[in-house]
Amino acid sequence: MIDTDLLKYLTGFFVVAIAAYEIAKFLQKKLNFPLITGLILTGILAGSSFLGFIPEYVLPKLNFLNEIALAIIAFSAGVELHLEELRSRMKSIQWMTFGQVVITFAISSTIIYHIESFIPFLQGMPSYDRLIISMLFATIFVARSPSSAIAIIDELRARGPFVKTVMGVTVVTDVLVIILFAIIFSLAKNIIHEEALDIMFFVLLILQILLSVGLGFFFGKILKWTLQTNLNFNIKSLTIILIGYSIYSFNHLVKMEMSKMGIHFELEPLLMAITASFYITNYTSFNHEFEKIINFISPYIYIIFFTLTGESLSLKVLISVLGIAVLLFLVRLLGLILGGFFGIYFAGEPKKYYGIAWMPYITQAGVAIGLTTIISQEFPEWGHQFETLIIAIIVINQIIGPPFFKWAIKFVGEEHQKHIFEKDNNQKSAVIFSLDSVSLALAKLLKDKGWKVKIVTTQKVPENSEIEILHVDKYNKDNISRLKFGKPDSVILLYPDDEKNFEIAEWIYESIGSPNIVTRLHSGSNAQKFKEIGVKIIEPTAAMINLLDHMVRAPEATHILLGMADDQDTIDVEVHNPDMMGLRIRDLHLPQDVIILSLKRRGNIVITHGYTQLRVGDILTFVGSKESLDKVKIRFEY
């Protein structure tokens, strides 16, 4: 029998979730709000405490969405736990993890226990209850956000020992947090529900953890079987979501059957899910496909999870706890700072890390909120207030954390962002690395087209060359940085060594930001790293085959594009003339022998039509007679 009310509210919730995502994107763009914060705030507004789109009594019926989301969040944490990548920094990771987990936990739980007068729902509680709730707070405080850390690292193209240690600590900590939570949460249920803490409790607790890990490997086998089938990508993605939900369903079944026998026993679904993901990541050949699927489904899951979390909160209560949230944020920050000092000291890291060791670990997200949701559901008497307070702290962490992490990466010099290109003058210029017949021929051709060209070489500079040639002893960043070749529009890398070419390309990318970097590739295995920084690749064999293909299928067009037609040429023109802004392509009044081949906007190729409107900064590629192209260039560049 279909529950029509549930179906109605489920449909309504998905409409709210879609709206929440759009609103969150708007807040992210206009106010620089973290996406998670926008989703939670929209959920609060749509919830029963404000607009009432989703009544409070419906939320328990939607709990299965929470369980699916928690499983995927645990899968995401396990995906990042690559043992091979952590080994080179294992000593630092061990000590930093110890400092961040143990020191943060100890300091946070101790301070919270002694400031219970500032936390309304702790006032008047028995001392043991206050202690265990303080430990639950501290457990949440230890949790990190791998997804937020990865986003910042990718944005800055950061790499180096500091960043590697941060990622290792972030991921390992989330695994340990789930184990720590399993222990503290079990203790909390016994103490708060006034059940006996006898030897049988601890035996069952150890058995619960061990069995959860073992079953995690079992579910990992099921994931492996799914991944090795011939199902298409979308079906595999849906199946993995169902496997995540089945972990929670299995736990409910075990709990129900054990309660019939008079035994309070339940597994730890988060531990099972993260173990299954860890198994796929480190012990199967399907790790890349699994990571691709998790990265594909996670954004949708997060939208549902954080919107639903917001709908369960009260806006009035959230505002009322902001003062306490700031106080507890500072308590957590103190734990992070002292934990960072401890980890750096015992790991023997450079002293310059002392002041920044805590900065990468402020941000929190999925795991922290997931654990908080579990507490809220288990202890409804005070759990909702606990959840609201934690959410307020996480919102502060989400706003404060990313800027601190970015600053720390820049401080240690491990950022590799693209330099903003600023042109010296209006004349097009190019620098070619390597001196051979191809580079000389290219330089002469570009010079004939009006370009200013320089060649950089390690060879002896020939006398009376019509091309300016610069000499370096070796191709490396230090030598190249001392050369005075300005800010070229294009850099061409023809040295017969992919590693050297990449080193030069990366330096150009970070220090000058030239918009066009081209390399001749010698090994296909090196292609990806060039593509990541936008280098255009020419693989000689493939280029020849493609050229012949175009010569056969479209010989006249190929002649023009290659400059082999005497009276025809191609040019790229950037729109500088503000009078062209908003003008439609159909209204350009181009010479009859000129056509537009492509339009590039903010690094992306735009499919044009007659009604496409131009913007300042657009780069248009024209083909036509040389005389007509000169006229076009003057008109567009103003």
- CA dihedral over 612, 618, 621, 622, signed as positive or negative: positive
SS3 state at 312: coil
Residue 563 has pLDDT above 70, yes or no: no
Q: Supply the Cα-derived Rg of the chain in whole angstroms.
A: 30
SS3 state at 612: coil
Label each residue of 438-493 as H, E or C: HHHHHHHHHHHCCCEEEEEECCCCCCCCCCEEEECCCCCHHHHHCCCCCCCCEEEE
The pTM of this model reads 0.66
Instruction: Return the pLDDT at 457.
Output: 85
Is the distance from CB of 358 to CB of 170 less than 8 angstroms? Answer: no
Higher pLDDT, 41 or 85: 41
Average pLDDT of the residues in 334-338: 91
For residue 452, the tally of other CB atoms under 10 A from its CB is 18
pLDDT band at residue 638 using 50, 70 and 90 as cut-offs = very low
Element at 554 (helix H, strand E): none
Q: What is the DSSP letter of 605?
A: E
Q: Tokens representing 308?
A: 């639903």
d(CA 142, CA 420): 38
d(CA 612, CA 606): 9
Q: Which of 40-49, 82-91, 558-567 holds the top average pLDDT?
A: 40-49
577, 578, 579, 582: CA torsion to nearest 10: 120
Is the distance from CB of 421 to CB of 487 less than 8 angstroms? Answer: yes
SS3 state at 513: coil
Higher pLDDT, 333 or 3: 333
Average pLDDT of the residues in 501-523: 84
521 Cβ partners below 8 Å, 6+ apart?
A: 498, 527, 530, 537, 538, 539
Instruction: Return the pLDDT at 221.
Output: 93
- N-term to C-term CA, the chain: 71
pLDDT band at residue 388 using 50, 70 and 90 as cut-offs = confident
Instruction: Return the pLDDT at 566.
Output: 63
Is the distance from CB of 550 to CB of 557 less than 8 angstroms? Answer: yes
pLDDT band at residue 35 using 50, 70 and 90 as cut-offs = confident
- CA dihedral over 477, 478, 479, 483, signed as positive or negative: positive
Residue 478 has pLDDT above 90, yes or no: no
Q: Which of 185-199, 410-424, 529-543 has the lowest mean pLDDT?
A: 410-424
Cα 494 to chain centroid, rounded: 33
Instruction: Return the pLDDT at 85.
Output: 65
Pick from 481, 422, 479, 426: nearest CA to 452? 426
SS3 state at 417: coil
Instruction: Return the pLDDT at 612.
Output: 82
Average pLDDT of the residues in 569-597: 75
Residue 529 has pLDDT above 60, yes or no: yes
Looking at the DSSP bridge assignments, the partners of residue 432 are 455, 492
d(CA 325, CA 329): 6
Cα 606 to chain centroid, rounded: 26
Name all domains of the chain by residue range, CATH numbers in brackets: 22-50+66-411 (1.20.1530.20), 429-538 (3.40.50.720), 562-637 (3.30.70.1450)
632 Cβ partners below 8 Å, 6+ apart?
A: 571, 573, 590, 591, 594, 622, 624
Burial, 464: exposed, middle or buried (Cβ in 10 Å; 0-12, 13-18, 19+)? exposed
pLDDT band at residue 579 using 50, 70 and 90 as cut-offs = low
Q: Which of 224-233, 270-279, 509-518 has the lowest mean pLDDT?
A: 509-518
Cα 310 to chain centroid, rounded: 23
Q: Tokens representing 175?
A: 């695994």
Q: Which of 393-407, 501-515, 590-604 has the lowest mean pLDDT?
A: 590-604
d(CA 124, CA 145): 34
| Percent of the chain clearing pLDDT 90 (strictly above) | 7
Instruction: Return the pLDDT at 450.
Output: 79
d(CA 230, CA 212): 29
SS3 state at 518: strand
Question: Which residue's structure tokens are 């670990």?
Answer: 361
Model confidence pLDDT, tens digit, residues 164-206: 888 888 878 878 888 888 888 888 888 887 766 667 767 777 8
Residue 260 has pLDDT above 70, yes or no: yes
356 Cβ partners below 8 Å, 6+ apart?
A: 340, 407, 408, 411, 412
pLDDT band at residue 622 using 50, 70 and 90 as cut-offs = confident
Higher pLDDT, 419 or 571: 571
Average pLDDT along the chain: 80
Q: What is the DSSP letter of 585?
A: G
